[in-house]
Amino acid sequence: MSAKIHDVRYRPFTGELRGSTRRAVESMGRWSALRALGARRPWTAKVVPIVLALIALGPAVTVLGVKSLIGGDIAEQLPTDLVPYAFYYTLIGFAIWAYAAIVIPETICPDRRSRVLDLYLSTAMSPFEYVLGKVVASLVPLLAVTTLPLVVLYVGNVFFATDPLGYIGDNLREIPAIIGGGVLIALVYTLMGLAVASLTSRRAFASVGFILLLVISGLVAGALAEVADLGPNARMVNLQALPVWVAQIMIGGEQIDGGDGPFAAANRPDLAPLLIANAVVVVVCCGILWLRYRRRGT
Amino acid sequence: MSGPPAIEVRGAVRRYGPVVALDGVDLTVDAPATGLLGRNGAGKSTLMKAILGLVRLDEGSVQVLGADTAREGDRVRRRIGYAPEHECLPPELTAADLVRHLAELRGLSRADAIRRASEVLFAVGLEEERSRVIGSFSLGMRQRVKLAQALVHAPELVILDEPTNGLDPAQRSEMLEVIRRVSRDLGVRVLISSHILDDIRRTCDHVVVMREGRVTLDRPLAARAGEDDSMLIETVADPAPLLALLSGRGLQVEAAGEHRLRARITGPADRAAIRDAAAEAGAGLRRLHPDGPSIEDELLEAIG
């Protein structure tokens, strides 16, 4: 009689299965964000997100660098805000759009292309949890571009101020405005990016589609305002600037002209219609995501 | 197996426009390994999706491990593992990362997910390759990854949709061996769909055959009592001496045509006795086989 040894090193799992929405969303968000940022992938996948984040941080680092280099009495004579917070978005608008166009499709398109979605939905995770995880995966990295640079600038300004506590006291309102404005921009572009990316399994198509959406909406807004003479409120279809205008107003940038570009104050509609327009964009994007990810076959 | 049956399907009907994918399916699955056999388009995949709660039935109900899939789909999916038929693995992830990720989605903590991913990848024979990206895997290895992710949360039931599809003979043989081990050694009930009869014979204890959305056969794969009792003996030479010899040794034997005898046997010892007697009588045993249709014949007829 011969003995047979089975060493499959497999034991029945006796631990706790903690199925919950929070857990599923957190897991999906973490894995997707890491993949989109190039974690455990070749260096070429990491370059673009890192470079764009550095570009977004560039103005803040430059301003703080100038302050630290010149120092002393000359620095005292410089205006406290070399770059006003509300104007900052004018400088980094391109980086925000490029980041949203390149990183967000990376969170969602490969799942469609490799059909791994079927595998995810065969677990207890619902389509809603899946989409929520993707929103988290897109939103959190985007905050590094929309919010972090202004936070760095604010902290640096406090650090280099002759009276740091006085600076904080004078600019207390800016703290929630910087965070709230950054979150709003990130949320609107996240949902727009996901909605566009949900329509295709090709990352390149999603990126180009997102950029085209911004460019075409800007052209349409300009045409409506100038050719049809409908005034600044006609520019609410301008998706390039819609959330940025709200953030600028929140931060107190009513007086910032924003240069001649899409963020120029002369082009800016009123706050209430702006908020409604942003809400409409959010609802439309959520509707597209719902249509694309409701459970199939049911 | 104790407790409720693994799967109970009652009067399941599912239509896709004019096409009836499931046409009143009644089924109880509770064997360690059950094969779902049928041609492409017979309704196997639809039935599997209905079992997972991913397809809503037009009529009827599906209970999995005692839970109704229509009302408690999430609860059902938490207790079962599923490996789809089609390619569904992200090529840029490593096997370990994917299995770990799916373990977390199935409710395991991060620490448990890491440990379990390692265990199941070992169990399916991918321990050495677990840190390689899936895109560099052969088709057979990818099928094993699918099996590993289905096992990672220690489900009570694993559903495998065409797990040998596209594999070469060597890969197929290895995959069937792994599947057999899952039900026999790991104690996980398995439902496997295939259109290849041999796959089911090698891995399963029970078979369900589907044709045009209906169950046409539902039986154990082992021969039932009495099924192999009657054997046909074909000889090269005149079988009369053999008939006399076997009758003298107490076997019920009768002539069944030229060079043919029919014998009733009760076990393997009788088969050996016939073989020995044929040699002794110089009859030249050409063939010894069950009298009547074999299981294969029955399955092939049910498949259509």
Take residue A142 and report the two structure tokens written for it: 């985007």
Please name the residue that has the structure tokens 């797990």.
B163
- Is residue A257's pLDDT more than 60? no
Most A CBs within 10 Å: which of B106, B119, B180, as the mutation test of the A interface? Answer: B106
CB-based contacts of B140, cutoff 8 Å, min separation 6: B167, B168, B170, B171, B172, B174, B175
Mean pLDDT of B117-144: 88
**Nearest C-alpha neighbor of B117 from the set B148, B156, B93, B163:** B148
Report the alpha-carbon distance of residue B44 to residue B193 in Å, rounded: 7
Q: For residue A120, how many other CB atoms are within 10 A of its CB? A: 20
pLDDT value of residue A145: 93
The structural domains of chain A, with segments of one domain joined by +, span 44-293
Please name the residue that has the structure tokens 């009123």.
A270
Report the alpha-carbon distance of residue A60 to residue A76 in Å, rounded: 18
DSSP A89-149: HHHHHHHHHHHHHHHHHHHHHHHHHTTTHHHHHTTT--HHHHHHHHHHHHHHHHHHHHTHH
- Is residue A298's pLDDT more than 50? no
- Is residue B265's pLDDT more than 90? no
Q: Coil, helix or strand for B21?
A: strand
pLDDT value of residue B109: 85
- Is residue A259's pLDDT more than 60? no
Q: Are strands B157-161 and B19-29 parallel, antiparallel or unpaired?
A: unpaired
- Is residue A191's pLDDT more than 70? yes
Q: How confident is the model at residue A265 (pLDDT cuts 50, 70, 90)?
A: low
B217-243 pLDDT tens trace:
888 887 655 555 788 888 998 899 999
Cβ–Cβ of B54/A15 closer than 8 Å?
no
In angstroms, how far apart are the furthest CA atoms of chain A? Answer: 96
Q: Is the ipTM of this complex over 0.85?
A: no
pLDDT value of residue A284: 97
Q: How confident is the model at residue B154 (pLDDT cuts 50, 70, 90)?
A: confident
B33-42 pLDDT tens trace:
999 988 888 8
Report the alpha-carbon distance of residue A150 to residue A147 in Å, rounded: 6
Q: In what order do the strands lie in the sheet with B67-68?
A: B19-29, B7-16, B59-64, B67-68
**Nearest C-alpha neighbor of B288 from the set B248, B250, B246:** B246
What are the respective helix, strand and coil percentages of chain B, to the nearest 5? 35, 30, 35
Alpha helices in chain A (DSSP H): 21-36, 43-70, 72-77, 85-113, 117-121, 127-146, 148-160, 164-170, 174-197, 203-226, 242-251, 271-293
DSSP H/E element including B24: strand B19-29
**Nearest C-alpha neighbor of B261 from the set B236, B298, B280, B279:** B236
Q: How confident is the model at residue A198 (pLDDT cuts 50, 70, 90)?
A: very high
Report the alpha-carbon distance of residue A88 to residue B158 in Å, rounded: 55
B186 touches chain A (CB under 8 A): yes
Q: Find chain B residues with C-beta within 8 A of A115's C-beta.
A: 86-88
Q: What angle do CA B69, A121, B158 make, to 5 degrees?
A: 60
Report the alpha-carbon distance of residue A31 to residue A41 in Å, rounded: 13
Take residue B174 and report the two structure tokens written for it: 């290895």
Q: How confident is the model at residue B58 (pLDDT cuts 50, 70, 90)?
A: very high
Among B84, B107, B187, select the one facing A17 at the smallest CB separation.
B107
CA distances from B150 to A9, B100, B123, B188 (A): 17, 11, 12, 11
- Is residue A4's pLDDT more than 60? no
Backbone angles phi, psi at B202, to 5 degrees: -85, -15
Q: For residue A30, how many other CB atoms are within 10 A of its CB? A: 18
pLDDT value of residue B220: 86
Contact A188/A281 with Cβ under 8 angstroms?
A: yes
Report the alpha-carbon distance of residue A293 to residue A194 in Å, rounded: 11
Q: Find chain B residues with C-beta within 8 A of A19's C-beta.
A: 74, 78, 106-107
Give this prediction's pTM. 0.81
- Is residue A290's pLDDT more than 90? yes
In terms of CA atoms, which chain B residue is nearest residue A38?
A: B92
Q: Which of A82-86, A238-242, A256-260, B28-32 has the lowest mean pLDDT?
A: A256-260
The structural domains of chain B, with segments of one domain joined by +, span 7-220, 230-296
Alpha helices in B157-257 (DSSP H): 169-184, 197-203, 240-248
pLDDT value of residue A138: 95
Among A13, A16, A296, select the one facing B116 at the smallest CB separation.
A13
Mean pLDDT of A248-269: 65
**Is residue A235 left, alpha or beta, with left meaning phi > 0 and alpha meaning psi from -120 to 50?**
alpha
Take residue B150 and report the two structure tokens written for it: 């289905």
Contact B152/B108 with Cβ under 8 angstroms?
A: yes
Among B52, B74, B154, select the one facing A12 at the smallest CB separation.
B154
The hierarchical CATH code for the domain B230-296 is 3.30.70
- Is residue A266's pLDDT more than 80? no
In the Cβ-directed half-sphere of B64, how many Cα atoms lie within 13 Å? 29
Cβ–Cβ of A10/B186 closer than 8 Å?
yes
CATH H-level superfamily of B7-220: P-loop containing nucleotide triphosphate hydrolases (3.40.50.300)
Q: For residue B191, how many other CB atoms are within 10 A of its CB? A: 28
Q: How confident is the model at residue B26 (pLDDT cuts 50, 70, 90)?
A: very high
DSSP H/E element including B192: strand B189-194
pLDDT value of residue A11: 67
Higher pLDDT, A117 or B230: A117
Cβ–Cβ of A10/B119 closer than 8 Å?
yes
Report the alpha-carbon distance of residue B49 to residue B82 in Å, rounded: 10
Residue at A119: amino acid letter: L
Average pLDDT, chain B: 87
- Is residue A1's pLDDT more than 50? yes
Axis-axis angle for helices A174-197, A203-226 (nearest 10): 120
Cβ–Cβ of A114/B91 closer than 8 Å?
yes
Q: Coil, helix or strand for A185?
A: helix
pLDDT value of residue B226: 56
pLDDT value of residue A42: 80
